[in-house]
Amino acid sequence: MILILKKGVAEKEYNHILDKIKELGFTPHISKGVKKTIVGMIGELAERYREVFESMPGIESVTDIEKPFKLASREFKEESTVVNVGNGVQVGAKEIVVMAGPCAVENRELLIKIAKFVKRAGAKVLRGGAFKPRTSPYSFQGLGEEGLKYLAESGKESGLVVVTEVMAPDQVEVVSKYADVLQIGTRNIQNYDLLKEVGRNKKPVLLKRGMATTVKEWLMSAEYILSQGNYDIILCERGIRTFEDSTRYTLDLNAVPIVKKYSHLPVIVDPSHGVGVREHIPTMAKAAVAAGCDGLLIEVHPNPEEALSDGPQSLLFEQFEKLMLELKPVAEAVGRRI
Protein backbone atom coordinates (compact mmCIF):
# COMPACT_ATOMS: atom_id res chain seq x y z
CA MET A 1 0.00 0.00 0.00
CA ILE A 2 1.28 3.48 -0.82
CA LEU A 3 0.26 6.77 0.72
CA ILE A 4 0.38 9.72 -1.66
CA LEU A 5 0.89 12.87 0.37
CA LYS A 6 -0.69 16.23 -0.37
CA LYS A 7 1.53 18.79 -2.05
CA GLY A 8 3.07 21.05 0.58
CA VAL A 9 2.04 18.80 3.46
CA ALA A 10 2.92 20.37 6.81
CA GLU A 11 5.90 18.91 8.66
CA LYS A 12 3.73 18.11 11.67
CA GLU A 13 1.27 16.14 9.54
CA TYR A 14 4.13 14.41 7.70
CA ASN A 15 5.79 13.28 10.94
CA HIS A 16 2.45 12.13 12.33
CA ILE A 17 1.97 9.86 9.29
CA LEU A 18 5.42 8.32 9.73
CA ASP A 19 4.90 7.87 13.47
CA LYS A 20 1.57 6.15 12.86
CA ILE A 21 3.12 3.70 10.39
CA LYS A 22 5.83 2.81 12.93
CA GLU A 23 3.26 2.53 15.72
CA LEU A 24 1.41 -0.09 13.67
CA GLY A 25 4.60 -2.14 13.31
CA PHE A 26 5.58 -1.20 9.75
CA THR A 27 8.63 0.52 8.30
CA PRO A 28 7.90 3.65 6.24
CA HIS A 29 9.64 3.72 2.85
CA ILE A 30 9.81 7.27 1.51
CA SER A 31 10.00 8.31 -2.14
CA LYS A 32 10.32 12.08 -2.65
CA GLY A 33 9.76 12.82 -6.32
CA VAL A 34 9.63 16.05 -8.25
CA LYS A 35 5.83 15.99 -8.45
CA LYS A 36 4.83 14.15 -5.29
CA THR A 37 5.95 12.41 -2.14
CA ILE A 38 4.97 8.79 -1.61
CA VAL A 39 5.27 6.76 1.58
CA GLY A 40 5.27 3.00 1.16
CA MET A 41 3.71 0.85 3.85
CA ILE A 42 4.63 -2.67 2.85
CA GLY A 43 3.27 -5.84 4.40
CA GLU A 44 0.48 -8.39 4.12
CA LEU A 45 -1.55 -6.68 6.86
CA ALA A 46 -1.13 -3.11 5.60
CA GLU A 47 -4.48 -3.09 3.76
CA ARG A 48 -6.48 -3.39 6.96
CA TYR A 49 -5.35 0.12 7.97
CA ARG A 50 -6.43 1.82 4.72
CA GLU A 51 -9.27 3.77 6.33
CA VAL A 52 -7.00 4.97 9.15
CA PHE A 53 -4.72 6.72 6.66
CA GLU A 54 -7.47 7.87 4.31
CA SER A 55 -8.81 9.97 7.17
CA MET A 56 -5.49 11.76 7.84
CA PRO A 57 -5.39 15.40 6.63
CA GLY A 58 -1.91 15.19 5.09
CA ILE A 59 -2.75 12.30 2.75
CA GLU A 60 -4.15 12.89 -0.71
CA SER A 61 -4.91 9.26 -1.55
CA VAL A 62 -4.18 5.66 -0.62
CA THR A 63 -3.61 3.07 -3.30
CA ASP A 64 -2.21 -0.39 -3.86
CA ILE A 65 0.95 -1.37 -5.71
CA GLU A 66 -0.09 -4.04 -8.16
CA LYS A 67 3.36 -5.46 -8.83
CA PRO A 68 4.74 -8.08 -6.41
CA PHE A 69 7.96 -6.04 -6.28
CA LYS A 70 6.62 -3.03 -4.38
CA LEU A 71 9.56 -0.73 -3.63
CA ALA A 72 11.32 -1.53 -6.91
CA SER A 73 8.30 -0.55 -8.98
CA ARG A 74 7.55 2.63 -10.94
CA GLU A 75 4.33 2.84 -8.94
CA PHE A 76 6.34 3.53 -5.80
CA LYS A 77 8.80 5.87 -7.53
CA GLU A 78 8.10 7.42 -10.93
CA GLU A 79 11.48 9.11 -11.40
CA SER A 80 14.47 6.94 -12.31
CA THR A 81 16.89 6.33 -9.45
CA VAL A 82 20.44 7.64 -9.74
CA VAL A 83 22.95 5.78 -7.58
CA ASN A 84 26.00 7.67 -6.31
CA VAL A 85 28.81 5.13 -6.03
CA GLY A 86 31.64 7.49 -5.01
CA ASN A 87 34.13 9.94 -6.52
CA GLY A 88 31.23 11.82 -8.12
CA VAL A 89 30.28 8.79 -10.25
CA GLN A 90 26.53 8.42 -10.77
CA VAL A 91 24.90 5.35 -12.29
CA GLY A 92 21.56 6.14 -13.89
CA ALA A 93 22.37 9.72 -14.88
CA LYS A 94 23.13 10.91 -18.43
CA GLU A 95 26.65 9.44 -18.47
CA ILE A 96 26.97 5.73 -19.22
CA VAL A 97 29.35 4.37 -16.58
CA VAL A 98 31.91 1.79 -17.66
CA MET A 99 33.18 -0.65 -15.03
CA ALA A 100 36.25 -2.59 -16.11
CA GLY A 101 39.00 -4.82 -14.81
CA PRO A 102 40.04 -8.46 -14.50
CA CYS A 103 37.63 -11.24 -13.61
CA ALA A 104 39.79 -12.16 -10.61
CA VAL A 105 42.37 -10.27 -8.58
CA GLU A 106 45.58 -12.19 -9.27
CA ASN A 107 48.34 -10.03 -7.77
CA ARG A 108 48.99 -6.46 -6.70
CA GLU A 109 51.21 -5.29 -9.56
CA LEU A 110 48.97 -6.61 -12.31
CA LEU A 111 45.83 -5.13 -10.76
CA ILE A 112 47.38 -1.68 -10.40
CA LYS A 113 48.53 -1.86 -14.03
CA ILE A 114 45.03 -2.77 -15.25
CA ALA A 115 43.38 -0.14 -13.05
CA LYS A 116 45.55 2.67 -14.37
CA PHE A 117 44.99 1.58 -17.95
CA VAL A 118 41.19 1.32 -17.83
CA LYS A 119 41.11 4.68 -16.04
CA ARG A 120 43.05 6.31 -18.88
CA ALA A 121 40.73 4.68 -21.40
CA GLY A 122 37.66 6.18 -19.71
CA ALA A 123 36.40 3.65 -17.16
CA LYS A 124 35.03 5.05 -13.90
CA VAL A 125 34.84 1.87 -11.81
CA LEU A 126 37.37 -0.92 -11.21
CA ARG A 127 35.94 -4.44 -11.10
CA GLY A 128 37.71 -7.54 -9.84
CA GLY A 129 36.89 -10.60 -7.76
CA ALA A 130 38.60 -11.30 -4.46
CA PHE A 131 36.21 -14.17 -3.68
CA LYS A 132 35.50 -16.25 -6.78
CA PRO A 133 32.52 -18.64 -6.94
CA ARG A 134 33.62 -21.23 -9.52
CA THR A 135 31.83 -24.16 -11.07
CA SER A 136 34.75 -26.44 -10.23
CA PRO A 137 36.09 -26.65 -6.64
CA TYR A 138 39.57 -27.10 -8.17
CA SER A 139 39.54 -23.75 -10.00
CA PHE A 140 41.14 -20.60 -8.59
CA GLN A 141 38.90 -19.35 -5.77
CA GLY A 142 40.39 -15.89 -5.28
CA LEU A 143 42.79 -14.25 -2.83
CA GLY A 144 40.19 -13.35 -0.21
CA GLU A 145 40.96 -10.38 2.05
CA GLU A 146 44.42 -10.01 0.51
CA GLY A 147 42.70 -9.43 -2.84
CA LEU A 148 40.38 -6.88 -1.25
CA LYS A 149 43.40 -4.92 -0.03
CA TYR A 150 44.85 -4.92 -3.54
CA LEU A 151 41.54 -3.66 -4.91
CA ALA A 152 41.36 -0.81 -2.41
CA GLU A 153 44.96 0.18 -3.13
CA SER A 154 44.46 0.00 -6.90
CA GLY A 155 41.30 2.06 -6.67
CA LYS A 156 43.06 4.71 -4.63
CA GLU A 157 46.09 4.88 -6.96
CA SER A 158 43.98 5.07 -10.10
CA GLY A 159 41.15 7.21 -8.75
CA LEU A 160 38.56 4.55 -9.55
CA VAL A 161 35.57 3.41 -7.53
CA VAL A 162 35.81 -0.29 -6.61
CA VAL A 163 33.16 -3.00 -7.07
CA THR A 164 33.68 -6.60 -5.99
CA GLU A 165 31.58 -9.62 -5.18
CA VAL A 166 30.44 -10.70 -1.74
CA MET A 167 29.37 -14.33 -1.48
CA ALA A 168 28.01 -14.85 2.04
CA PRO A 169 26.38 -12.81 4.82
CA ASP A 170 29.45 -13.13 7.04
CA GLN A 171 31.63 -11.58 4.30
CA VAL A 172 29.62 -8.36 4.02
CA GLU A 173 31.42 -6.53 6.81
CA VAL A 174 34.94 -7.27 5.59
CA VAL A 175 34.16 -6.59 1.91
CA SER A 176 32.54 -3.29 2.89
CA LYS A 177 35.81 -2.17 4.48
CA TYR A 178 37.55 -2.19 1.09
CA ALA A 179 34.89 -1.87 -1.64
CA ASP A 180 32.65 1.03 -2.65
CA VAL A 181 30.01 -1.20 -4.27
CA LEU A 182 29.00 -4.71 -3.21
CA GLN A 183 28.26 -7.13 -6.04
CA ILE A 184 25.78 -9.99 -5.70
CA GLY A 185 26.66 -12.59 -8.32
CA THR A 186 24.32 -14.66 -10.44
CA ARG A 187 24.62 -17.70 -8.16
CA ASN A 188 23.51 -15.70 -5.13
CA ILE A 189 20.52 -13.93 -6.68
CA GLN A 190 18.20 -15.87 -4.37
CA ASN A 191 20.45 -16.08 -1.34
CA TYR A 192 17.91 -14.17 0.73
CA ASP A 193 20.00 -13.95 3.90
CA LEU A 194 22.78 -12.32 1.88
CA LEU A 195 20.35 -9.94 0.17
CA LYS A 196 18.95 -8.82 3.52
CA GLU A 197 22.45 -8.36 4.94
CA VAL A 198 23.61 -6.06 2.12
CA GLY A 199 20.29 -4.25 2.50
CA ARG A 200 21.13 -3.48 6.10
CA ASN A 201 24.72 -2.54 5.21
CA LYS A 202 23.64 0.49 3.12
CA LYS A 203 26.56 0.47 0.64
CA PRO A 204 25.50 0.54 -3.04
CA VAL A 205 24.72 -2.93 -4.39
CA LEU A 206 25.25 -4.27 -7.91
CA LEU A 207 22.70 -7.06 -8.29
CA LYS A 208 23.38 -9.47 -11.15
CA ARG A 209 20.50 -11.32 -12.73
CA GLY A 210 20.47 -15.05 -12.13
CA MET A 211 21.36 -17.23 -15.08
CA ALA A 212 17.89 -18.81 -14.90
CA THR A 213 15.72 -16.12 -13.30
CA THR A 214 12.93 -14.15 -14.92
CA VAL A 215 12.91 -10.35 -14.85
CA LYS A 216 10.22 -10.42 -12.16
CA GLU A 217 12.23 -12.84 -10.00
CA TRP A 218 15.25 -10.58 -10.43
CA LEU A 219 13.24 -7.58 -9.25
CA MET A 220 11.90 -9.57 -6.30
CA SER A 221 15.50 -10.16 -5.23
CA ALA A 222 16.06 -6.40 -5.41
CA GLU A 223 12.97 -6.04 -3.24
CA TYR A 224 14.70 -7.97 -0.44
CA ILE A 225 17.48 -5.36 -0.40
CA LEU A 226 15.08 -2.41 -0.66
CA SER A 227 12.92 -3.76 2.15
CA GLN A 228 15.88 -3.42 4.52
CA GLY A 229 16.24 0.29 3.70
CA ASN A 230 19.00 0.25 1.07
CA TYR A 231 17.73 2.03 -2.05
CA ASP A 232 21.09 2.23 -3.85
CA ILE A 233 20.75 -0.78 -6.15
CA ILE A 234 22.17 -1.21 -9.65
CA LEU A 235 20.71 -4.07 -11.66
CA CYS A 236 23.02 -5.99 -14.01
CA GLU A 237 21.93 -8.11 -16.97
CA ARG A 238 24.63 -10.77 -17.51
CA GLY A 239 23.08 -13.34 -19.80
CA ILE A 240 20.68 -16.20 -19.19
CA ARG A 241 20.94 -19.92 -19.86
CA THR A 242 19.10 -21.05 -22.99
CA PHE A 243 19.40 -23.89 -25.51
CA GLU A 244 21.91 -21.82 -27.54
CA ASP A 245 25.49 -23.07 -27.22
CA SER A 246 27.42 -20.83 -29.65
CA THR A 247 27.99 -18.37 -26.80
CA ARG A 248 28.52 -18.88 -23.08
CA TYR A 249 25.05 -17.51 -22.22
CA THR A 250 22.38 -15.63 -24.13
CA LEU A 251 22.66 -11.90 -23.44
CA ASP A 252 19.07 -10.79 -22.90
CA LEU A 253 19.03 -7.17 -24.06
CA ASN A 254 15.22 -7.31 -24.01
CA ALA A 255 15.58 -7.05 -20.25
CA VAL A 256 16.95 -3.50 -20.37
CA PRO A 257 13.83 -1.71 -21.67
CA ILE A 258 11.52 -4.12 -19.87
CA VAL A 259 13.14 -3.48 -16.48
CA LYS A 260 13.14 0.25 -17.12
CA LYS A 261 9.39 0.08 -17.76
CA TYR A 262 8.70 -1.87 -14.57
CA SER A 263 11.30 -0.35 -12.24
CA HIS A 264 13.01 2.92 -11.37
CA LEU A 265 16.35 1.21 -10.67
CA PRO A 266 19.32 1.74 -13.05
CA VAL A 267 20.34 -1.15 -15.30
CA ILE A 268 23.81 -2.01 -16.57
CA VAL A 269 24.90 -4.85 -18.87
CA ASP A 270 27.76 -7.34 -18.58
CA PRO A 271 28.53 -8.48 -22.14
CA SER A 272 31.66 -10.34 -20.99
CA HIS A 273 29.72 -13.02 -19.12
CA GLY A 274 26.66 -12.71 -21.33
CA VAL A 275 28.59 -13.64 -24.47
CA GLY A 276 31.79 -15.28 -23.22
CA VAL A 277 33.46 -14.93 -26.62
CA ARG A 278 36.00 -12.10 -26.86
CA GLU A 279 35.39 -11.11 -30.47
CA HIS A 280 31.65 -10.55 -29.94
CA ILE A 281 31.83 -8.57 -26.69
CA PRO A 282 32.41 -5.12 -28.28
CA THR A 283 29.43 -5.58 -30.60
CA MET A 284 27.11 -6.52 -27.75
CA ALA A 285 28.46 -3.70 -25.58
CA LYS A 286 27.45 -1.22 -28.28
CA ALA A 287 24.08 -2.94 -28.65
CA ALA A 288 23.53 -2.65 -24.89
CA VAL A 289 24.13 1.10 -25.01
CA ALA A 290 21.70 1.41 -27.93
CA ALA A 291 19.14 -0.58 -25.88
CA GLY A 292 19.29 2.02 -23.11
CA CYS A 293 21.59 0.61 -20.44
CA ASP A 294 23.09 2.90 -17.80
CA GLY A 295 26.50 1.25 -17.73
CA LEU A 296 28.69 -1.64 -18.82
CA LEU A 297 30.68 -4.22 -16.86
CA ILE A 298 33.62 -5.44 -18.95
CA GLU A 299 36.50 -7.79 -18.22
CA VAL A 300 39.95 -6.61 -19.29
CA HIS A 301 43.32 -8.38 -19.05
CA PRO A 302 46.69 -7.70 -20.76
CA ASN A 303 47.47 -11.42 -21.10
CA PRO A 304 44.17 -13.34 -21.23
CA GLU A 305 45.92 -16.64 -21.97
CA GLU A 306 47.58 -16.35 -18.53
CA ALA A 307 44.48 -15.18 -16.66
CA LEU A 308 43.46 -17.32 -13.68
CA SER A 309 39.77 -16.84 -14.50
CA ASP A 310 37.72 -16.12 -17.65
CA GLY A 311 40.61 -15.42 -20.00
CA PRO A 312 38.62 -16.21 -23.19
CA GLN A 313 36.14 -13.43 -22.46
CA SER A 314 38.61 -10.76 -21.33
CA LEU A 315 39.38 -7.93 -23.74
CA LEU A 316 42.99 -7.06 -24.48
CA PHE A 317 44.10 -3.52 -23.65
CA GLU A 318 43.98 -2.37 -27.26
CA GLN A 319 40.51 -3.91 -27.74
CA PHE A 320 39.15 -2.12 -24.69
CA GLU A 321 40.65 1.19 -25.74
CA LYS A 322 39.12 0.82 -29.23
CA LEU A 323 35.74 -0.11 -27.75
CA MET A 324 35.66 2.99 -25.53
CA LEU A 325 36.13 5.17 -28.63
CA GLU A 326 33.45 3.27 -30.57
CA LEU A 327 30.93 3.60 -27.74
CA LYS A 328 30.92 7.41 -27.83
CA PRO A 329 28.90 7.92 -31.05
CA VAL A 330 26.46 5.19 -30.03
CA ALA A 331 25.88 6.91 -26.69
CA GLU A 332 25.43 10.28 -28.38
CA ALA A 333 22.90 8.77 -30.78
CA VAL A 334 20.63 7.84 -27.85
CA GLY A 335 21.15 11.10 -25.98
CA ARG A 336 23.79 9.83 -23.56
CA ARG A 337 27.54 10.15 -23.17
CA ILE A 338 30.49 7.98 -22.16
Q: Return d(Cα 79, Cα 89) in angstroms, integer.
A: 19
pTM of the full structure: 0.93
CATH architecture for the domain at 83-333: Alpha-Beta Barrel (3.20)
- Each residue's pLDDT, cut to its tens digit, for the chain (338 residues) gives 899 999 889 999 999 999 999 999 999 999 988 778 999 998 878 888 999 999 999 999 998 888 899 999 999 999 999 999 999 999 999 999 999 999 999 999 999 999 999 999 999 999 999 987 767 776 777 789 999 999 999 999 999 999 999 999 999 999 999 999 999 999 999 999 999 999 999 899 999 999 999 999 999 999 999 999 999 999 999 999 999 999 999 999 999 999 999 999 999 999 999 999 999 999 999 999 999 999 999 999 999 998 888 889 999 999 999 999 999 999 999 999 99
User: What per-residue confidence (pLDDT) applies to 138?
Assistant: 62
179, 163 contact by CB (below 8 A): yes
User: What's the pLDDT at 158?
Assistant: 97
What pLDDT shows up at residue 134? Answer: 65
In single-letter form, the type of residue at position 23 comes to: E
CA distance 155 to 162: 6
Q: What per-residue confidence (pLDDT) applies to 175?
A: 97
Sheet strand arrangement including 28-32: 28-32, 37-41, 2-5, 59-63
- Beta strand residue intervals within the chain, DSSP E: 2-5, 28-32, 37-41, 59-63, 83-86, 89-91, 97-101, 125-127, 161-165, 181-184, 205-208, 233-237, 267-269, 295-299
Alpha-carbon gap, residue 66 to 61, rounded angstroms? 16
Q: Are 255 and 209 in contact (CB under 8 A)?
A: yes
The ranges assigned to domains in the chain are 2-63, 83-333
Q: Which pLDDT score is estimated for 36?
A: 85
Identify the CATH assignment for 2-63 out of 1.20.1250.20, 3.90.1200.10, 3.30.70.1140, 3.40.50.510.
3.30.70.1140
